[in-house]
């Protein structure tokens, strides 16, 4: 995990009054390494693999993910399957992206829009905010459908 992301996470935890426990740090490390948003069971499984395997009890993982979400460290992505998926907050990572969400298998994939399309989207969102007297602080775009594997 990049040092700047870790510093941002630690600062956010301190700001909201949460201690950076070993479990919270491990959850953040796992999400920082993930190529896509993960379910809590996937996070737990990822914790037991790699160079420094650590078992995270399910109750501890779920409880701490809730705390990290409330603190703005992680973001929940709702899918059609039984488990929400989580990723580090883009306000901490600086990695602005959107998602493809498969309604059949629940897979979530990160996508980046072309710069021109992202700029057009930002302009439209700014206009909507002005027209409706709404202060838009961020946006999320999830493209929902069926992935290639599920369509076969």
Asked if 140 and 101 touch (Cβ cutoff 8 Å), the reply is no
Going 67 to 69 to 72 to 73, the CA torsion angle's sign is positive
Based on its alpha-carbon atoms, the radius of gyration of the chain, rounded to whole angstroms, reads 17
Phi-psi region at 106: left, alpha or beta (left = phi > 0; alpha = psi -120 to 50): left
Q: Where in the chain is the domain with CATH 1.10.10.10?
A: 1-95
What's the pTM? 0.82
Six-digit token string for 107:
């897979």
Q: What is the pLDDT of residues 74-92, one digit of tens each?
A: 999 987 766 789 999 998 8
* Residues carrying CATH 3.30.1490.190, the chain: 97-152
Using left for φ > 0, alpha for ψ between -120 and 50, and beta otherwise, residue 133 falls in left
Residue with tokens 């057009």: 120
Q: Which CATH architecture has domain 97-152?
A: 2-Layer Sandwich (3.30)
Overall CATH class of domain 1-95? mainly alpha
The per-residue pLDDT for range 88-128, each reduced to its tens digit, is 999 888 888 999 999 888 889 999 999 999 999 999 999 99
């Amino acid at each position: 995990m990049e040092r700047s992301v870790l510093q941002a996470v630690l600062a956010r935890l301190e700001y909201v009054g949460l201690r950076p426990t070993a479990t919270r740090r491990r959850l953040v490390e796992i999400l920082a390494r993930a190529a896509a948003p993960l379910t809590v069971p996937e996070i737990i499984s990822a914790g037991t693999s790699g160079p420094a395997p650590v078992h995270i009890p399910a109750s501890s993982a779920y409880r701490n993910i809730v705390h990290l979400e409330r603190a703005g460290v992680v973001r929940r992505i709702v899918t059609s399957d039984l488990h929400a998926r989580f990723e580090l907050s883009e306000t901490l990572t600086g990695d602005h992206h959107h998602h493809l969400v498969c309604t059949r298998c629940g897979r979530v994939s990160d996508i980046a829009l072309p710069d021109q399309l992202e700029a057009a989207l930002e302009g439209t969102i700014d206009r909507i905010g002005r027209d409706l007297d709404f202060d838009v602080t961020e946006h999320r775009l999830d493209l929902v459908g069926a992935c290639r594997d599920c369509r076969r």
